[in-house]
Protein backbone atom coordinates (compact mmCIF):
# COMPACT_ATOMS: atom_id res chain seq x y z
CA UNK A 1 0.00 0.00 0.00
CA UNK A 2 1.01 3.63 -0.42
CA UNK A 3 -0.29 7.03 0.56
CA UNK A 4 0.44 10.53 -0.70
CA UNK A 5 0.78 12.75 2.37
CA UNK A 6 1.02 16.51 2.78
CA UNK A 7 2.36 18.55 5.70
CA UNK A 8 0.59 21.70 6.87
CA UNK A 9 3.08 23.81 4.89
CA UNK A 10 2.19 21.97 1.66
CA UNK A 11 5.29 19.73 1.58
CA UNK A 12 4.30 16.44 -0.09
CA UNK A 13 5.73 12.96 0.26
CA UNK A 14 4.80 9.37 -0.51
CA UNK A 15 4.71 6.72 2.20
CA UNK A 16 5.15 3.15 0.94
CA UNK A 17 4.58 -0.10 2.82
CA UNK A 18 4.83 -3.64 1.47
CA UNK A 19 5.63 -6.98 3.07
CA UNK A 20 9.38 -6.52 2.47
CA UNK A 21 10.04 -2.87 3.36
CA UNK A 22 8.77 0.64 3.99
CA UNK A 23 9.93 3.96 2.55
CA UNK A 24 9.23 7.68 2.45
CA UNK A 25 9.92 9.75 -0.67
CA UNK A 26 9.51 13.53 -0.93
CA UNK A 27 8.20 14.93 -4.22
CA UNK A 28 10.63 17.82 -3.79
CA UNK A 29 13.90 16.57 -5.20
CA UNK A 30 12.57 13.01 -5.72
CA UNK A 31 14.24 12.57 -2.35
CA UNK A 32 13.94 9.29 -0.48
CA UNK A 33 14.53 10.00 3.21
CA UNK A 34 13.61 6.67 4.79
CA UNK A 35 14.06 3.04 3.79
CA UNK A 36 13.58 0.23 6.26
CA UNK A 37 13.49 -3.43 5.42
CA UNK A 38 10.87 -5.20 7.53
CA UNK A 39 13.51 -7.27 9.33
CA UNK A 40 16.27 -4.65 9.62
CA UNK A 41 17.05 -1.20 11.02
CA UNK A 42 16.73 2.04 9.06
CA UNK A 43 19.23 2.23 6.19
CA UNK A 44 19.31 6.02 5.75
CA UNK A 45 20.34 8.76 8.18
CA UNK A 46 18.13 11.83 8.55
CA UNK A 47 18.97 14.94 10.56
CA UNK A 48 16.62 15.58 13.48
CA UNK A 49 16.59 19.28 12.57
CA UNK A 50 16.21 18.98 8.80
CA UNK A 51 13.63 21.32 7.29
CA UNK A 52 10.72 19.83 5.38
CA UNK A 53 9.71 22.86 3.37
CA UNK A 54 9.82 23.82 -0.28
CA UNK A 55 13.06 25.41 -1.36
CA UNK A 56 15.15 23.87 1.46
CA UNK A 57 17.11 20.68 0.75
CA UNK A 58 16.50 17.78 3.14
CA UNK A 59 19.60 16.95 5.21
CA UNK A 60 19.90 13.18 4.97
CA UNK A 61 18.44 10.33 2.94
CA UNK A 62 19.51 10.39 -0.71
CA UNK A 63 19.70 13.89 -2.18
CA UNK A 64 20.02 13.79 -5.98
CA UNK A 65 22.85 15.95 -7.32
CA UNK A 66 21.84 16.99 -10.86
CA UNK A 67 22.75 18.36 -13.41
CA UNK A 68 25.96 19.01 -11.51
CA UNK A 69 27.79 17.29 -8.70
CA UNK A 70 29.66 19.52 -6.24
CA UNK A 71 30.45 23.19 -6.79
CA UNK A 72 33.03 22.94 -9.56
CA UNK A 73 30.61 24.72 -11.94
CA UNK A 74 30.00 28.15 -10.39
CA UNK A 75 27.17 28.93 -12.84
CA UNK A 76 24.86 26.52 -10.99
CA UNK A 77 23.90 26.04 -7.33
CA UNK A 78 26.05 23.55 -5.42
CA UNK A 79 24.96 20.02 -6.44
CA UNK A 80 22.64 21.50 -9.06
CA UNK A 81 18.98 22.42 -8.71
CA UNK A 82 17.08 19.10 -8.85
CA UNK A 83 17.23 18.49 -5.09
CA UNK A 84 14.96 21.48 -4.40
CA UNK A 85 12.78 21.17 -7.52
CA UNK A 86 9.16 19.98 -7.46
CA UNK A 87 8.85 16.61 -9.23
CA UNK A 88 5.65 15.19 -10.70
CA UNK A 89 4.37 11.83 -9.44
CA UNK A 90 4.02 9.74 -12.61
CA UNK A 91 3.02 6.42 -11.05
CA UNK A 92 3.18 4.07 -8.10
CA UNK A 93 2.96 0.40 -9.07
CA UNK A 94 2.52 -2.39 -6.57
CA UNK A 95 4.20 -5.10 -8.64
CA UNK A 96 3.67 -7.79 -6.03
CA UNK A 97 3.45 -8.03 -2.25
CA UNK A 98 7.21 -7.46 -1.91
CA UNK A 99 7.91 -4.85 -4.61
CA UNK A 100 6.66 -1.30 -5.11
CA UNK A 101 7.90 0.86 -7.99
CA UNK A 102 7.68 4.66 -7.77
CA UNK A 103 8.25 6.90 -10.81
CA UNK A 104 8.84 10.66 -10.44
CA UNK A 105 9.63 13.16 -13.19
CA UNK A 106 11.11 16.64 -13.55
CA UNK A 107 10.83 18.54 -16.86
CA UNK A 108 12.43 21.77 -17.97
CA UNK A 109 10.44 24.91 -17.25
CA UNK A 110 10.75 28.68 -17.45
CA UNK A 111 12.09 28.54 -13.89
CA UNK A 112 14.76 25.91 -14.61
CA UNK A 113 15.90 27.75 -17.73
CA UNK A 114 16.82 30.77 -15.60
CA UNK A 115 19.72 28.73 -14.16
CA UNK A 116 20.25 26.08 -16.88
CA UNK A 117 18.94 26.98 -20.33
CA UNK A 118 18.16 23.54 -21.75
CA UNK A 119 15.11 21.39 -22.49
CA UNK A 120 15.28 18.11 -20.56
CA UNK A 121 13.37 15.32 -18.83
CA UNK A 122 14.72 13.74 -15.64
CA UNK A 123 13.00 10.51 -14.58
CA UNK A 124 13.73 8.96 -11.18
CA UNK A 125 12.57 5.42 -10.48
CA UNK A 126 12.61 3.70 -7.08
CA UNK A 127 12.24 -0.03 -6.48
CA UNK A 128 11.23 -0.63 -2.86
CA UNK A 129 11.73 -4.27 -1.88
CA UNK A 130 14.17 -6.32 0.20
CA UNK A 131 16.76 -4.09 -1.45
CA UNK A 132 16.54 -0.42 -2.43
CA UNK A 133 17.22 0.45 -6.07
CA UNK A 134 17.21 3.97 -7.52
CA UNK A 135 17.69 5.01 -11.14
CA UNK A 136 18.05 8.47 -12.69
CA UNK A 137 17.34 8.75 -16.42
CA UNK A 138 18.26 11.99 -18.19
CA UNK A 139 16.84 12.78 -21.64
CA UNK A 140 18.04 15.70 -23.74
CA UNK A 141 14.96 17.34 -25.32
CA UNK A 142 16.92 20.29 -26.65
CA UNK A 143 18.31 21.02 -30.11
CA UNK A 144 21.85 21.31 -28.70
CA UNK A 145 24.02 19.00 -26.64
CA UNK A 146 24.57 19.46 -22.91
CA UNK A 147 26.92 18.15 -20.24
CA UNK A 148 25.93 16.69 -16.88
CA UNK A 149 27.62 15.39 -13.78
CA UNK A 150 25.42 13.73 -11.16
CA UNK A 151 25.38 11.75 -7.93
CA UNK A 152 23.33 9.84 -5.40
CA UNK A 153 24.47 11.70 -2.27
CA UNK A 154 23.55 8.85 0.09
CA UNK A 155 23.67 9.31 3.88
CA UNK A 156 23.98 5.91 5.56
CA UNK A 157 22.94 5.59 9.19
CA UNK A 158 25.68 4.06 11.36
CA UNK A 159 25.98 3.08 15.02
CA UNK A 160 29.01 5.37 15.44
CA UNK A 161 31.40 6.70 12.81
CA UNK A 162 34.37 5.19 14.64
CA UNK A 163 32.84 1.70 14.43
CA UNK A 164 32.64 1.53 10.65
CA UNK A 165 34.88 0.23 7.90
CA UNK A 166 34.41 0.71 4.14
CA UNK A 167 35.67 -2.20 2.04
CA UNK A 168 36.09 -2.43 -1.73
CA UNK A 169 38.05 0.70 -2.64
CA UNK A 170 41.48 -0.69 -1.80
CA UNK A 171 44.19 0.36 -4.30
CA UNK A 172 41.84 2.87 -5.97
CA UNK A 173 43.16 6.34 -6.86
CA UNK A 174 41.29 9.25 -5.32
CA UNK A 175 41.32 13.04 -5.13
CA UNK A 176 41.48 14.34 -1.57
CA UNK A 177 39.46 17.52 -2.08
CA UNK A 178 40.45 18.92 1.32
CA UNK A 179 44.05 19.34 0.17
CA UNK A 180 43.55 18.94 -3.61
CA UNK A 181 45.99 16.03 -3.82
CA UNK A 182 45.86 12.73 -5.68
CA UNK A 183 46.39 9.65 -3.52
CA UNK A 184 45.87 5.87 -3.57
CA UNK A 185 43.75 4.05 -1.00
CA UNK A 186 45.73 1.67 1.18
CA UNK A 187 43.53 -0.96 2.81
CA UNK A 188 39.95 -0.40 3.92
CA UNK A 189 38.66 3.05 4.91
CA UNK A 190 38.21 4.11 8.52
CA UNK A 191 37.14 7.61 9.53
CA UNK A 192 38.55 9.57 12.47
CA UNK A 193 38.63 13.08 10.94
CA UNK A 194 37.02 15.12 8.18
CA UNK A 195 36.99 13.16 4.92
CA UNK A 196 36.04 14.32 1.41
CA UNK A 197 37.40 12.05 -1.31
CA UNK A 198 36.46 11.36 -4.92
CA UNK A 199 37.53 7.86 -5.93
CA UNK A 200 38.05 7.80 -9.67
CA UNK A 201 37.28 4.15 -10.31
CA UNK A 202 34.15 2.53 -8.95
CA UNK A 203 34.15 -0.96 -7.47
CA UNK A 204 31.67 -3.72 -8.31
CA UNK A 205 30.69 -4.11 -4.67
CA UNK A 206 31.46 -1.66 -1.89
CA UNK A 207 30.63 -2.83 1.62
CA UNK A 208 29.91 -0.61 4.59
CA UNK A 209 30.70 -2.71 7.65
CA UNK A 210 29.20 -1.57 10.96
CA UNK A 211 29.52 -4.22 13.68
CA UNK A 212 27.47 -7.21 12.57
CA UNK A 213 25.70 -5.22 9.83
CA UNK A 214 27.06 -5.07 6.26
CA UNK A 215 25.49 -2.81 3.63
CA UNK A 216 26.37 -3.72 0.05
CA UNK A 217 26.49 -0.87 -2.46
CA UNK A 218 26.34 -1.56 -6.19
CA UNK A 219 26.41 1.08 -8.90
CA UNK A 220 25.63 1.13 -12.61
CA UNK A 221 26.99 3.48 -15.29
CA UNK A 222 29.12 5.51 -12.88
CA UNK A 223 32.88 5.51 -12.40
CA UNK A 224 33.19 7.78 -9.36
CA UNK A 225 32.63 7.11 -5.65
CA UNK A 226 32.63 9.88 -3.06
CA UNK A 227 33.27 9.22 0.62
CA UNK A 228 32.36 12.13 2.89
CA UNK A 229 32.02 12.96 6.56
CA UNK A 230 32.27 16.60 7.79
CA UNK A 231 33.59 15.72 11.27
CA UNK A 232 33.26 18.03 14.28
CA UNK A 233 34.10 21.58 13.19
CA UNK A 234 32.35 21.61 9.82
CA UNK A 235 29.35 19.72 11.20
CA UNK A 236 28.78 22.46 13.79
CA UNK A 237 28.54 25.09 11.03
CA UNK A 238 26.25 23.27 8.59
CA UNK A 239 22.60 24.10 8.08
CA UNK A 240 19.93 21.60 9.18
CA UNK A 241 22.58 19.44 10.83
CA UNK A 242 22.55 17.89 14.30
CA UNK A 243 25.57 19.21 16.19
CA UNK A 244 26.88 15.66 16.68
CA UNK A 245 25.40 14.35 13.43
CA UNK A 246 28.82 13.43 12.05
CA UNK A 247 28.92 10.50 14.51
CA UNK A 248 25.82 8.89 13.06
CA UNK A 249 26.33 8.88 9.29
CA UNK A 250 28.74 8.42 6.45
CA UNK A 251 28.09 9.42 2.86
CA UNK A 252 29.10 6.94 0.17
CA UNK A 253 28.01 8.42 -3.15
CA UNK A 254 27.80 6.83 -6.60
CA UNK A 255 28.48 9.52 -9.19
CA UNK A 256 29.49 10.76 -12.59
CA UNK A 257 32.03 13.32 -11.38
CA UNK A 258 35.21 15.08 -12.52
CA UNK A 259 36.31 13.51 -15.84
CA UNK A 260 33.43 11.02 -15.67
CA UNK A 261 30.96 13.58 -17.06
CA UNK A 262 28.27 12.74 -19.63
CA UNK A 263 27.64 14.68 -22.84
CA UNK A 264 24.14 14.17 -24.24
CA UNK A 265 23.23 14.92 -27.84
CA UNK A 266 19.66 15.94 -28.77
CA UNK A 267 17.10 13.19 -27.96
CA UNK A 268 19.75 11.04 -26.25
CA UNK A 269 19.01 9.40 -22.88
CA UNK A 270 21.42 8.05 -20.27
CA UNK A 271 20.86 6.40 -16.91
CA UNK A 272 22.73 5.96 -13.66
CA UNK A 273 21.67 3.55 -10.96
CA UNK A 274 22.42 2.27 -7.46
CA UNK A 275 21.37 -0.75 -5.43
CA UNK A 276 21.66 -1.11 -1.65
CA UNK A 277 21.07 -4.32 0.26
CA UNK A 278 21.88 -5.67 3.70
Domains of the chain: 2-277 (2.70.98.10)
Q: Cα torsion at 135, 56, 164, 237 (round to 10°)?
A: 150
CA distance linking residue 201 with residue 125, whole number of Å: 25
CA distance linking residue 225 with residue 95, whole number of Å: 31
Percent of the chain's residues with pLDDT above 70? 100
pLDDT attached to residue 137: 98
pLDDT attached to residue 73: 72
DSSP annotation of 142: S
Rg (C-alpha) for the chain, rounded Å, is 18
Q: Residue 130: pLDDT above 80?
A: yes
CA distance linking residue 46 with residue 242, whole number of Å: 9
Q: Residue 265: pLDDT above 90?
A: yes
Contacts of 180 (CB under 8 A, 6+ apart): none
pLDDT attached to residue 123: 98
CA nearest neighbour of 4 among 86, 92, 107 = 92
Q: Residue 5: pLDDT above 80?
A: yes
Q: How confident is the model at residue 75 (pLDDT cuts 50, 70, 90)?
A: confident
pLDDT attached to residue 78: 84
Q: Residue 77: pLDDT above 90?
A: no
CA distance linking residue 8 with residue 162, whole number of Å: 38
CA distance linking residue 135 with residue 271, whole number of Å: 7
CA nearest neighbour of 83 among 23, 32, 149 = 32
Q: Residue 228: pLDDT above 80?
A: yes
pLDDT attached to residue 7: 95
Question: What integer is the mean pLDDT of 16-33?
Answer: 98
Q: How confident is the model at residue 74 (pLDDT cuts 50, 70, 90)?
A: confident
Q: What is the pLDDT of residues 178-216, one digit of tens each?
A: 999 999 999 999 999 999 999 998 878 899 999 999 999
Q: How far is CA 127 from CA 140, 192, 263, in A?
A: 24, 34, 27
CB 262 within 8 A of CB 163: no
Question: What integer is the mean pLDDT of 231-252?
Answer: 95
Coil vs helix vs strand at 83? helix
- Parallel/antiparallel/unpaired status of strands 150-152 and 12-17: unpaired
pLDDT attached to residue 169: 96
Q: What is the pLDDT of residues 84-125, one digit of tens each?
A: 999 999 999 999 999 999 999 999 999 999 999 999 999 999
Average pLDDT, the chain: 96
CA distance linking residue 258 with residue 154, whole number of Å: 18
CA nearest neighbour of 227 among 262, 202, 260 = 202
The residues that bridge with 248 in the sheet, in sequence order, are none
Q: What is the pLDDT of residues 141-160, one digit of tens each?
A: 999 999 999 999 999 999 99
Q: How confident is the model at residue 268 (pLDDT cuts 50, 70, 90)?
A: very high
pLDDT attached to residue 254: 96
pLDDT attached to residue 204: 82
CA distance linking residue 31 with residue 43, whole number of Å: 14
- Parallel/antiparallel/unpaired status of strands 249-256 and 224-229: antiparallel
pLDDT attached to residue 201: 84
Provide the terminal-to-terminal Cα distance of the chain, rounded to the nearest Å: 23
Amino acid sequence: MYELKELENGFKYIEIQNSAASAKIALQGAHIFSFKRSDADELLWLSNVSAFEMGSAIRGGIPLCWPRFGNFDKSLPQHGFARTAAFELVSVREENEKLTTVHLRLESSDESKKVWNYEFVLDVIFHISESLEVEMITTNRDTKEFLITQAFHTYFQVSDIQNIKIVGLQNKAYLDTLINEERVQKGSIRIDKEVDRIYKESAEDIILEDGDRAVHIGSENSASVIVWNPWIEKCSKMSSMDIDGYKKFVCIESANALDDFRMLTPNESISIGVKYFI
